[in-house]
Structure 1
Amino acid sequence: MSLCGHTSPVESLAFDSAEVFVLAGSSTGGIKLWDLEETKMVRGLTGHRSNCTALEFHPFGEFFVSGSMDTNLKVWDIRKKGCIHTYKGHTRGISTIRFTPDGRWVVSGGFDNVVKVNLESYHHLC
């Protein structure tokens, strides 16, 4: 199976917990959401100004986070089809993102040698 449609290199990938969807982030900052069962692109999302270097689905809810070399962490709602929050704080690009196992918080690591813990609870979005 091949999931085609990006026009620039893919730099990050993430599966949802049910392994139905996959996210792909590109070097231009674009993100594509793919349905693996249907083998089709569900949505194309834009918002980052440069390389989308990290993606992570929430473990229970219908949203995900992305990190970029533009230093921003974005929270995306799949149902609303867009970005619902942008967090700033890193002084250089974001290299990794993880939700806590309970899905309550998101942690990001950056090329600025800093780990940021976003203490906003994400339970209300589920």
Structure 2
Amino acid sequence: MNFMCYLALHPRKKIVVSGGDDRLWKTWGFPDGNILLTGEGHTDWLSGCCFRPSGTQLVTSSGDTTVRIWDLSRRGCILTLRGHSRAVHDCSWHSCGDFVASASMDGTSKIWDVNSERCRYTLRGHEDSVNSIEFLPFSSTALTSSADKTLSLWDVRTGLRVYTFQGHVHSCNHATFNKKGDTIASCDSSGVMKLWDMRKLLPVLSIDAGPHPANQVSFHRSGDLVALASSEGSVKVLYLSTGQLSILRGPGVEVRCVRFHSQDHLLSAGADGRVCIWAQ
């Protein structure tokens, strides 16, 4: 059984990439689901994937401690970035297209210069595994979540931590920005989801969607909805205007990842290797 770990959306085309414990990434058309490309090369499970903003390349992270860059037209790996000492949990591409970030179980994150093919900075400060990393679009800020129960903001021009959010009492599994960049959503291993005001650097809302772990969160492009992937086997959607939490019941297996694809569709994937498409 393929344990699906990640979904990422092409910046312009109706293409989705997914990866899991079969060591492969696959791109497929939306919504028909036909497989377009398959990438082979990692020697352990895939943990993350992200399209380059131009849509021509892909970055992936893996339990094999590496980060890889793939050229979609050449259908092959063009660069392997080595430097982490333990499994890499997540990766992200900066909006300028020149930098990639990675987050690792070794307690560090790294900023890689794709052009020079070298590590620009190693971000040190978390006291446990770094579980996710994401760039704030069109900025020099990166956001990490960690098993040390904190979220951190980093200045990628200097490699220094600029702020730490504290409030979770269990391992933070994922954190993400909304499209405006003024709100952060995070989730933890006890199922708690929190929203944070990016400008005031304060907590805004805490929702207990547990007791099962919450694995990933995703904002709708409107900023009015936040979806949560639950190990309970469901997707939970928070309506920010009312505070209402609705539960979408799927195949009943652990949901690992969730993404709003468009105004009307939500994608989720999990332990059975299938991707579910939800219509709103």
SS at the partner of 1:18? coil
The alpha-carbon deviation at position 120 of structure 1 amounts to: 3.2
Distance 1:105 1:77 in 2: 17
* 2:86 paired with 1:8: yes
Amino acid in the other structure paired with 1:96: H
Higher-strand-fraction structure: 2
The alpha-carbon deviation at position 105 of structure 1 amounts to: 1.6
The alpha-carbon deviation at position 112 of structure 1 amounts to: 2.0
Deviation track 1:33-61 (CA, whole Å, cap 9, x = no partner) reads 10112211101111111110011100121
Structure 1 unaligned regions, length at least 5: none
Residue number among 51, 54, 57 corresponding to 2:135 in the alignment? 57
SS at the partner of 2:90? strand
Residue in 2 aligned with 1:38?
116
Distance 2:144 2:98 in 1: 19
Residue in 2 aligned with 1:114?
192
Q: For the Cα contact (< 8 Å) 1:28–1:49, is it kept in 2?
A: no
Normalised to the residue count of structure 2, the TM-score between the two structures is: 0.42
Say how many residue pairs are matched: 122
Distance 1:111 1:59 in 2: 27
Residue in 1 aligned with 2:97?
19
Amino acid in the other structure paired with 2:199: S
Distance 2:119 2:183 in 1: 28
The two structures, once aligned, show a CA RMSD in angstroms of: 1.3
SS at the partner of 1:38? coil
Q: For the Cα contact (< 8 Å) 1:60–1:103, is it kept in 2?
A: no
Amino acid in the other structure paired with 2:99: F
Point out the more displaced range, 49-58 or 5-14.
Answer: 5-14
Runs of 4+ aligned structure 1 residues displaced above 4 Å come to: none
Q: Greater CA radius of gyration, 1 or 2? A: 2
* 2:173 paired with 1:95: yes
Distance 2:157 2:85 in 1: 25
Amino acid in the other structure paired with 2:84: H
Which structure exhibits the higher relative contact order, with contacts defined as CA atoms closer than 8 Å and separated by 6 or more residues? Answer: 1
Task: Tell me the percent identity.
Answer: 27
